Amino acid sequence: MLSDAFNAALSLVSFTATFERPDDSPTTYDITLALSNYMRNLEGPEEVVSEGREFIIPTKKFQEVTGYIAPKRGDRIISDTYGENVIQSIVDVRGLKGELMGFRVRTT
């Protein structure tokens, strides 16, 4: 099954970080995720540069830890290696049958 291969591949390069939803009573979870090996420095208007990272969060493990919440803009990923990253956008990672396998999150 494609989702099994996806999760197995991510487990080879995954690490643990803290996922934080900063609302009225901040909620934190220890999650497993992987760096997508895509880093961007995009130029915008007036030569503004936006630096950020992309992470892949496997849905199966994320749901086991959080119950079931989906990441949303403004949530934070905090790790010893990559520091604090604020999620700016989320793209679903889907399998051939349309099943949700993970989230690709872009951060600043």
Q: Per-10-residue mean pLDDT for the chain, 108 residues long? A: 90 95 87 79 59 90 90 96 95 94 94
Cα 79 from Cα 45, distance rounded (Å):
31
Element (H, E) at 80: none
CB 56 within 8 A of CB 34: yes
Q: Where are the alpha helices (DSSP H) in the chain?
A: 2-13, 59-66
Which positions ≥6 away from 27 have C-beta within 8 Å?
20, 21
Residue 17: predicted pLDDT: 97
pLDDT digits (tens, 9 = 90+) for 67-79: 888 999 999 999 9
pTM for the predicted model, two decimal places: 0.84
Q: What are 98's two structure tokens? A: 């349309």
- Residue 48 has a pLDDT of 61
Residue 51: CB partners within 8 Å, gap ≥ 6?
A: 40, 41, 108
